[in-house]
Each structure stands twice: as structure tokens, then as C-alpha cells.
């Protein structure tokens, strides 16, 4: 897809850029515990300031459901953003009129305080459009929502992708839209049922697809293997077989575990053993990770791949030693990426946590923090906030 970026805008002196950002930050006792989402917005804000614009920021926080909830006000974000930006950030408690104060950056109140936001109400979209001369969407993580501030306003004033949005779309296009081949996907997680659309879309686009985590147990069970007392959606046996058939038809090779790490207790450093697939298991035996043979095969495929897209861990990475497969695969992916042999794009909450745990997040080509939007993009769905930016 083609979309306008801030490079397509020249002189913004005397104009206001209305920027949709994602400031839905984690907070404890009134303090921001992770300011990553604020930092992600800085390149766009600085670029617009350099072009002479006043920057008006739109964001949501939590789920007030169209009502004013004082404890969900965005007021606390302005000073934190000001400290990161190194200049004053004003806070406007109302979305009724343009900010007319001296600050060149203003953060408006939580857009979700208004019932028209999540309904994508045309009147509310016009109200928002009146706050700026151009619209910039820099919140990919909210782009799967057709809300007034993510989709509606983009049709009313000239619309552009912000720097973070541009990086996200460029990376995802490199991973799925127009990738270098061979392509490898790694999909993990606990349940097949939560990633059916994803799996069906990926087998039609990738050369290899590795399935890990609890969802791999469902595929093993569908093939007749013993999974003991492991997490397994046995009622999805036919679905798993259909996905395997679709992969075969699309010439996508599915990579399922060759061996597994089994334990009888779900706790850190529990007594465990490695078993080949097909070994008899008791009802007390539970599969918590992929085994070393599986990782070796995965890394062998990865060594010949040009593009990797990763969503979900290979095992219960939160508990050692069941993090071994995920960490080993992540470190190998990072090594391949650093050496320029692999374009590695990853995303989703558990994935980001797993890569952070392995200490390789910064080595990947791109890591998306957008959970739902990243997943829907990989499922092949149209994201309203992105479609509205198409040139």
C-alpha cells in the first residue's frame, strides 16, 4: 500500500498538526511504570515541530466507555511527556475548541470520554478535525479500531502516517506484503482457537510455519500422538487437520515439535525430562516446552530463511527451564539478523516479553508492541486506521 508520510509535508508554519498517539500507558499509584509509548511518539512530534507546526495530541486512556471518569484523565501524561521532550506540553481538558496558548505542544483530554469516539460518530469526527489543519496517525496499535480519532477524522483533513506508523507499516510489508524468500513464521501461544485466522492466513503466504506452545499439542493430538495431561483443544482436531491440509496444498511446510520437555508440576525448576514425540505419557505428564531436537531443526530452517515473522513463545517461557526453546530460537534469530542474513519482525504481548526475557529485542529488525493490530494485520484483515491513510 502507498500512504503519505511527513516527508510529503513541507511548510507547516502557523498550522496545527492533529496527531493520534497511543498514550494508554501502564500506571501504578498515579505514576507511569513504562514510558515506552511516550518515547515512541517523540520522533513524530519533533519532526512536526521542526516543520513549524503546533502539535495537538489525541489519545485514549483505559476504557471510560463514553463517560467522563476523572481517574482516567490524561492530565498526568503531560508533565511526563514534557520531561522527555524537553519543552512545555500544555494540557487541554476540553476538545471543544483549538488550544490558543503559548505552548507548541498540547495534549487533549481522553477522547474516549466522548460517546462519539468509539461509535466513529461523524459529528464528533468533524469536531476533532476542527482542532487541526492536517491529521497524523502515529498509533498503529489503535489502527484496528474504526473510531473517530483513528479513522473518521482522516477523511476530513489531509492525512499522513507518523514516523512510528511508517516504521510499523514498512516492517510489516517487509514481513508479509513483499518479503524476501524463503519466509519462516513462528506462532506460539496456548490455544489454537485464538489464532485460527492467523494460521489460515500464514500457511497461504509462508514457506515454513513453526507451531509451538500449547497450540502445538492440539496439532500433535490431531496426528495421533500422546500429549498426556497437557493443555490441548481436542475438539479442534479436525480444524488442526484442515490447517495442515491447507499448508500442504499451499506448499508451506509445517514445523511441529520433534521432542518435548515434560513435567508433572507447573512451577519453576520442576523435575522434568525430554521425550521424543510418540513416547507414551501419563495423565500427570504435561508438555511445557519444545525439546532440543525441535530447536535444532527450527534453527536449521531459520539459517536458510531470509524473512522471519514471530508471534508467540515456544513454551512456558515465564518459568525456567521451560524458557529454553524460546530463548535459544530467539538468540539464533538475533544472531542471523545482526549478521544481515535475516529480516526478523516480531510482535504481540507475549512475544515482546519473551524477546525481552531472551535479551534480544534490540537485535531484531522490528518488534511491534501493538497486540491486537499486529495480530489482525497478520490475519490478513484490513485495519481501518491504516486504510484511511492510503494515498
Q: Which of 52, 66, 75, 372 is catalytic?
A: 372
Shared-domain flag, residues 192 and 151: no
Q: Which of 191, 253, 293, 306 is catalytic?
A: 191
The verdict on 57 and 185 lying in the same domain is no
Is residue 336 scored above 80 in pLDDT? yes
CB 203 within 8 A of CB 190: no
181 is catalytic: no
Per the domain annotation, does 339 fall within a domain?
yes
Asked whether residue 350 is marked as a ligand-binding residue, the answer is: yes
- Do 18 and 40 reside in the same domain of the chain? yes
**156, 198: one domain:** no
pLDDT winner (highest mean) among 33-37, 316-320, 349-353: 316-320
CATH (domain of 293): 3.40.50.1260
Print the domain residue range for 12: 6-166
Is 372's pLDDT higher than 90? no
Q: Residue 348's pLDDT band (boundaries 50, 70, 90)?
A: confident
Q: Which residues does 242 contact at the CB level (< 8 Å), separation at least 6? A: none
The Cα 340–Cα 334 span in angstroms is: 10
370 domain-assigned: yes
Tell me how many domains the chain contains. Answer: 2
Annotated ligand binding at 76? The verdict is no
| 351 marked ligand binding residue | yes
Q: Sorting pLDDT into bands at 50, 70 and 90, what band is 11?
A: confident
Q: Which of 166, 190, 207 is the last residue of a domain?
A: 166
Q: What is the pLDDT of residue 361?
A: 95
Tens-digit pLDDT profile for residues 81-124: 999 999 999 999 999 999 999 999 999 999 999 999 999 999 99
Question: For position 113, what pLDDT does the model report?
Answer: 98
187 shares a domain with 112: no
Bridge partners, 57 (sequence order): 19, 107
Which residues have CB under 8 Å from 101's CB, separation 6+? 90
- The residue-averaged pLDDT of 155-159 equals 97
Q: Average pLDDT, stretch 122-150?
A: 97
Q: Quick one: which of 383, 390, 352, 369 has its CA closest to 22? A: 369
pLDDT surpassing 80 at residue 365: yes
User: Where a domain ends, among 143, 166, 189?
Assistant: 166
Q: Is 112 annotated as a binding residue?
A: yes
388 within a domain of the structure (yes/no): no
Residue 219's contacts (CB-CB under 8 Å, 6 or more residues apart) are: 192, 211, 240, 243, 244, 254, 256
Is 118 in the same domain as 209? no
Which whole number is the average pLDDT over 367-389? 91
Residues 155 and 267 in one domain: no
| 176 pLDDT more than 90 | no
Instruction: Indicate the length of the chain as a whole number.
Output: 391
Specify whether 199 is located in the same domain as 112: no
Q: Please return the burial class of 251, using the count of CB atoms within 10 Å of its CB with bins 0-12, 13-18 and 19+.
A: exposed
Q: Report which of 134, 78, 75 is spatially closest to residue 109, judged by C-alpha positions.
A: 75
Question: Scanning the structure block, which residue is given the C-alpha cell 523435575?
Answer: 271
Q: Which of 75, 229, 349, 371 is catalytic?
A: 349
Residue 138 CA from chain centroid, whole number: 14
Q: Which of 101, 136, 166 is the last residue of a domain?
A: 166
- pLDDT tens digits, 229-269: 999 999 999 999 999 999 999 999 999 999 999 999 999 99
- 189 and 158 in a single domain? The answer is no
Known binding residue 349? Answer is yes
**Domain presence at residue 173:** no
Question: Can 273 be counted among the known catalytic residues?
Answer: no
Cell of 279: 513416547
Strands (E), 242-281: 253-255, 259-263, 272-276
pLDDT of 86: 97
Is there a binding annotation on residue 185?
no
Q: Say yes or no: 125 and 54 in one domain.
A: yes
Q: Does 218 lie in the same domain as 107?
A: no
Residue 363 included in any domain: yes
Q: Residue 273's pLDDT band (boundaries 50, 70, 90)?
A: very high
Confirm whether 1 is domain-assigned. no
133 is in an annotated binding site: no
> Mean pLDDT over residues 269-287, rounded?
97
Same domain, 95 and 138: yes
- Mean pLDDT along residues 375-380: 90
Mean pLDDT within 27-53 = 94
147 annotated ligand-binding residue = no
Question: Average pLDDT of 275-303?
Answer: 97
Note the pLDDT of residue 139: 96
Integer Cα distance of 390 and 154 in angstroms: 10
- 372 labelled catalytic: yes
pLDDT at residue 349 above 80? no
Annotated binding residue 195: yes
Give domain status of residue 391, yes or no.
Answer: no
Give the confidence band of 2 by pLDDT, cuts at 50, 70, 90: confident
Catalytic, out of 37, 104, 166, 205: 37
- Taking the model in full, what pTM does it have? 0.89
How far apart, in whole angstroms, are the C-alpha atoms of residue 84 and residue 266? 42
Q: Kindly state whether residue 384 falls inside one of the protein's structural domains.
A: no
Amino acid at each position: 500500500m502507498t500512504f503519505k508520510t511527513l516527508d510529503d509535508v513541507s511548510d507547516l508554519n502557523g498550522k496545527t498538526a492533529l496527531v493520534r498517539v497511543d498514550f494508554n500507558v501502564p500506571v501504578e499509584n498515579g505514576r507511569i511504570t513504562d514510558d515506552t509509548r511516550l518515547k515512541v511518539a517523540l520522533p513524530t512530534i519533533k519532526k512536526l515541530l521542526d516543520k513549524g507546526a503546533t502539535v495537538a495530541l489525541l489519545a485514549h486512556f483505559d476504557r471510560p466507555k463514553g463517560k467522563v471518569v476523572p481517574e482516567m484523565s490524561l492530565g498526568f501524561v503531560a508533565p511526563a511527556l514534557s520531561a522527555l521532550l524537553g519543552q512545555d506540553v500544555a494540557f487541554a481538558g476540553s476538545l471543544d475548541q483549538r488550544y490558543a496558548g503559548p505552548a507548541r505542544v498540547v495534549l487533549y483530554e481522553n477522547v474516549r470520554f466522548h460517546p462519539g469516539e468509539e461509535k466513529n460518530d461523524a459529528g464528533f469526527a468533524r469536531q476533532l478535525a476542527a482542532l487541526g489543519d492536517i491529521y497524523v496517525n502515529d498509533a498503529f496499535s489503535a489502527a484496528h479500531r474504526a473510531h473517530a480519532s483513528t479513522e473518521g477524522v482522516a477523511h476530513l483533513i489531509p492525512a499522513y502516517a507518523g514516523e512510528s506508523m511508517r516504521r510499523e507499516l514498512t516492517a510489516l510489508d517487509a514481513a508479509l506484503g513483499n518479503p524476501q524468500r524463503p519466509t519462516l513464521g513462528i506462532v506460539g501461544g496456548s490455544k489454537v482457537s485464538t489464532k485460527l485466522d492467523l494460521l489460515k492466513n500464514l500457511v497461504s503466504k509462508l514457506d515454513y510455519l513453526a507451531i509451538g506452545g500449547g497450540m502445538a499439542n492440539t496439532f500433535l493430538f490431531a496426528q495421533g500422538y500422546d500429549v498426556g495431561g497437557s493443555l490441548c483443544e481436542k475438539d479442534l482436531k479436525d480444524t488442526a487437520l484442515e490447517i495442515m491440509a491447507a499448508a500442504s496444498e499451499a506448499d508451506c511446510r509445517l514445523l511441529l515439535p520433534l521432542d518435548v520437555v515434560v513435567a508433572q508440576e507447573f512451577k519453576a525448576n520442576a523435575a522434568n525430562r525430554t521425550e521424543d514425540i510418540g513416547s507414551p505419557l501419563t495423565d500427570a505428564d504435561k508438555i511445557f516446552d519444545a525439546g532440543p531436537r525441535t530447536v535444532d531443526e527450527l534453527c536449521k530452517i531459520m539459517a536458510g530463511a531470509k524473512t522471519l515473522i514471530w508471534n508467540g513463545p515456544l513454551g512456558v517461557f515465564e518459568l525456567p527451564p521451560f524458557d529454553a526453546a524460546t530463548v535459544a530460537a530467539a538468540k539464533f534469530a538475533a544472531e542471523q539478523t545482526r549478521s544481515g542474513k535475516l529480516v526478523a519482525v516480531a510482535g504481540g504481548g507475549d512475544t515482546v516479553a519473551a524477546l525481552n526475557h531472551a535479551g534480544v529485542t534490540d537485535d531484531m529488525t522490528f518488534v511491534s508492541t501493538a497486540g491486537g493490530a499486529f495480530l489482525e494485520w497478520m490475519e490478513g484483515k484490513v485495519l481501518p486506521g491504516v486504510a484511511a491513510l492510503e494515498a
